[in-house]
Structure 1
Amino acid sequence: MATVLDEVSTASLTVSREAGTRGGRRRRRMSGWHFVLFPVAILFLVPFLQMLLASFSPAKDLVAFPPPFIPSRLTLDGYVRLFGQTDILLWLGNTVIVSATAIVSNIVLCSVAGYGFARLKFAGRNFGFLMILATIMIPTQLLMIPTYILFAKLGLLNGLGAAIVPWLATAFGIFLMRQFFLSLPAELEEAGAIDGCNRWQIFFRIVLPLARPAIATLAIFTLLGAWNDLVWPLIAINNQSAFTLQLGIANFQGMHQTDWSLIMAGNVVATMPLILFFLFAQRQFIATMTFSGLKG
């Protein structure tokens, strides 16, 4: 067992270093794709830049038509009112709890389920996986009423549980992890079994270390979904102490008037953690994406 683990660790470290070296070499080279991707990147950057500038704009600029791209003056009024007159920190904390729980539970549950469907042989395995996969094709709107009734009977409404439970595991996460585990060579697990590993030791000490690219990808998708979820919390949560960030920001838009400065400042606060997490997870993904097994 120690031999297999040493080989896995050594190979993973070697490939990570090679990926970092190759990444550094690629960054020094220019290609024709840069001339295509740079304008596209600017197009995606403009809306975020406009939102950022609008969050520092005075109220008169935000209600002008057309609104100026460059504010007439920079002001922190939107952020002062955001942190002084709203429960933005409470909403942010609730969203962090929901998202962190969703990420951890998806990594654990989807990895175990995906490995079971990929490697274990049991009656109804293919049928069960197809049934799980079929749930992806069901429109979310059709599930709102039965899910609300179920949560009402379980007493999970108007609390963080209503926002957490739907994200404990996802069909997409199970599908993603299963497909990745199928791409790993079975010889690694056979070598671990020969060295005396049981099924759980093979999974936690051999398979999971190789699944870091898939885990990073699953964490990104789970965070994006749980962090930006609005429709279901809007239906299931009426208690303001359990509001998530998106639900709290949605309340800034009233029937007769909209506080644009609060919305822009709130959107910046809601967007920055996603950008930082994505950059961190992307680096981890690039460092290990080329490693899917042992060479030779």
Structure 2
Amino acid sequence: MPSKRKVIALILNILKYAFLIAGAIFTVLPFVWMIASSLKTPAEIVQVPPAIFPKAAQWSNYKVAWNAAPFAKYLLNTVIVTVCTTIGVLITTVLSAFAFSRLEFPGKKLIFSLFLATLMIPGEMLIITNYITIMKLQWIDTYQAMIVPWISSVFYIYLLTQFFMQVPNELYLAAKVDKCSDLKFMLRIMVPMNKQAIITIAILNIISSWNAFLWPLLVTNSDGMRVLSHGLIRFQTEAGASYELIMAASCILVMPIIIVYLFLRKYIIEGVTRSGLKG
């Protein structure tokens, strides 16, 4: 009987790992195809049946793609927008989460409920009103237009508020007895105890800002204010698309963010799986 259970457990483990391996293959395959396609010739791109890997790697595709558009300027703009929006999101999120989790003020529950209600509004519905606001402020084709509307996020505020509420209130009361200010308590106690969640929010915002396409396209007119994601449009012409160059430019676009994710992925896992305080 025990041996039969071991056999069943072994079969279940094999099936489990087979399912996980298949899922990993399907996840990685698009990236492998993108990298392989970026090294192909135009003839190999349209070859039927398609070949996964090129006969000879065309590393010159990256040079051609980089020179086809001012990618250096696009990269600078993307870094500026990503860094500024991330700093803004962290400041507004930490301050708001602390206020909702520890401070008492009139209408706190109502305001928090209204914040949560906005999560049900699709982001596309806000594009027109945000664009009109940017136009009235005369911010079109400026960094402010790409940064200011995205320096706060209700979802991040809600997420961090839940983490802050897990910190025992006795710590806050003890700090107040010792005449510790709210700002000092937040910076010295709340932030260090929830650094995994804060880093997770920063990483998620970096990814979304780096990949932003529609909003920067709407609020910028000149080529000098475009971001990296707009560089892919350069390879679309009336005669067709240069798919090998699109793939090379796509690699240039996604590789920095993949590297950042690989180095900081443990913070995302810790921030998502952490559900309470121990001890």
Same fold (TM over 0.5): yes
Q: Secondary structure at the match of 2:236?
A: coil
Measured against aligned partners, the alpha-carbon deviations of 1:104-139 in whole angstroms (never above 9, x if no partner) come to 111111110011011111111111112222222112
Are the equivalent residues in 1 in contact too, given 2:37–2:247 (CA < 8 A)? yes
- What code does the residue aligned with 1:113 have? S
Unaligned runs of 5+ in 1: 1-30
Partner of 1:214: 197
Are the equivalent residues in 2 in contact too, given 1:54–1:261 (CA < 8 A)? yes
How far apart are the structure 1 equivalents of 2:136 and 2:188?
40
1:286 to partner: Cα distance: 4.8
Partner of 1:231: 214
Are the equivalent residues in 1 in contact too, given 2:68–2:234 (CA < 8 A)? no
1:53 to partner: Cα distance: 0.6
Q: 1:251 aligns with which of 234, 239, 264?
A: 234
Bigger shift: residues 234-243 or 134-143: 134-143
How far apart are the structure 2 equivalents of 1:234 and 1:152?
14
How far apart are the structure 2 equivalents of 1:199 and 1:183?
17
Q: TM-score, normalised by structure 2?
A: 0.88
1:66 to partner: Cα distance: 4.4
Identity fraction in percent: 31
Is 1:180 the counterpart of 2:163? The answer is yes
- What code does the residue aligned with 2:237 have? G
Partner of 2:51: 68
Distance change >3 Å, CA 151–CA 66, structure 1 → 2: farther
Are the equivalent residues in 1 in contact too, given 2:66–2:249 (CA < 8 A)? no
How far apart are the structure 2 equivalents of 1:250 and 1:166?
24
Q: 1:108 aligns with which of 86, 91, 100?
A: 91
Partner of 1:168: 151
Bigger shift: residues 201-210 or 99-108: 99-108
Distance change >3 Å, CA 144–CA 287, structure 1 → 2: closer
Measured against aligned partners, the alpha-carbon deviations of 1:206-254 in whole angstroms (never above 9, x if no partner) come to 1100111211221122112111111111211111101011122233223
Is 1:192 the counterpart of 2:175? The answer is yes
Measured against aligned partners, the alpha-carbon deviations of 1:60-104 in whole angstroms (never above 9, x if no partner) come to 112334432121221122111122232112111111111111111
Distance change >3 Å, CA 255–CA 125, structure 1 → 2: farther
Q: Which runs of 4+ in 1 moved over 6 A?
A: none
Q: 1:201 aligns with which of 184, 191, 197?
A: 184
Aligned residues between the structures = 265
- What code does the residue aligned with 1:174 have? I
Partner of 2:251: 268
Q: Secondary structure at the match of 2:241?
A: coil
Unaligned runs of 5+ in 2: 1-12
Partner of 1:78: 61
Distance change >3 Å, CA 213–CA 135, structure 1 → 2: same
How far apart are the structure 1 equivalents of 2:162 and 2:146?
28
How far apart are the structure 2 equivalents of 1:249 and 1:233?
14
How far apart are the structure 2 equivalents of 1:228 and 1:97?
13
How far apart are the structure 2 equivalents of 1:76 and 1:160?
34
Is 1:136 the counterpart of 2:119? The answer is yes
CA RMSD of aligned residues (A): 1.9
